[in-house]
Amino acid sequence: MVTAMSTNLQWKAPFTTSCLHAADGICRGLTVVDPVLADVIGRPAAELKGAIESMGAPPGRLWRQLLGLSGSSEVSRHIAETALAKTVGRGQLFEAQAGHLTAALSRLQALVRAAIPNLTEELALRERPLREQWEARGPGLLVNIENLTEPELLAEQADVLLVRPAFGGAGAAHLQSNAVRIEAVLANPHAELPEVVRLAWLVAQLDLDLPRHSEEIQADRLPHVARLAMIPIVLKAAEAVELVRYSPELVGQAMAAWHLAVPPGLDAVGVIGDWWETYQLDKTPFQVALAALDAMVG
Inter-residue contact 24 to 44 (CB < 8 Å): no
CA 291 vs CA 83, 130, 226, 229, 241: distances in Å: 28, 33, 10, 10, 29
Q: Which of 275, 234, 277, 283 has the alpha carbon at shortest distance from 257?
A: 234
- For the segment 65-117, what is each residue's pLDDT rounded down to a tens digit? 999 999 999 999 999 999 999 999 998 999 999 999 999 999 999 999 999 99
Coil vs helix vs strand at 183: strand
Inter-residue contact 171 to 204 (CB < 8 Å): no
Q: Which of 72, 254, 60, 44 has the alpha carbon at shortest distance from 181?
A: 72
Pairwise CA distance, residues 19 & 44, whole Å: 10
What's the pLDDT at 254? 97
Backbone phi, psi, residue 162, to 5°? -80, 135
What's the pLDDT at 3? 44
Q: Which of 268, 260, 265 has the alpha carbon at shortest distance from 297?
A: 268
Averaged pLDDT for residues 49-59: 92
What's the pLDDT at 116? 97
Pairwise CA distance, residues 187 & 128, whole Å: 11
